Amino acid sequence: MRSLFALCGLLLVAVAAEAAAQNTSINFAELERSVAAELKENKTPGASIAVISGDRVLFVKGFGTTSAEEGGASVTPDTLFRMGSTT
């Protein structure tokens, strides 16, 4: 999971900087594929991702489900996640 956050953090900084500099729309397909692959590889049920540049939201999406058990609800950008251990 740590690699997912590092990967997303690096991608988000690069994407936001590029968008701000070029003032263009961005295709987030590669970010979406990376997040989906990382969730699958680490058996993480779901995550929410947001890309923000200044005061603009450039991208927001939920991935996966809210539970590792069968029948979890789909993750949305507004899904609240319970904090687990951070040690």
Q: What are phi and psi of 34, to 5 degrees?
A: -65, -45
Q: Is 35 exposed, middle or buried (0-12, 13-18, 19+ CB in 10 A)?
A: buried
Q: What is the pLDDT of residues 39-84, one digit of tens each?
A: 999 888 999 988 888 888 888 999 999 888 887 899 999 998 877 7
Total domains in the fold of the chain: 1
Q: Is residue 22 part of a domain?
A: yes
Q: Is residue 75 part of a domain?
A: no
Q: What is the pTM of this model?
A: 0.66
Q: What is the pLDDT of residues 7-47, one digit of tens each?
A: 455 555 555 556 555 556 678 888 899 999 999 998 889 99
Query: What stretches of 1-87 show up as alpha helix (H) in DSSP?
Result: 2-22, 29-41
* pLDDT for residue 53: 81
Q: Is residue 74 part of a domain?
A: no
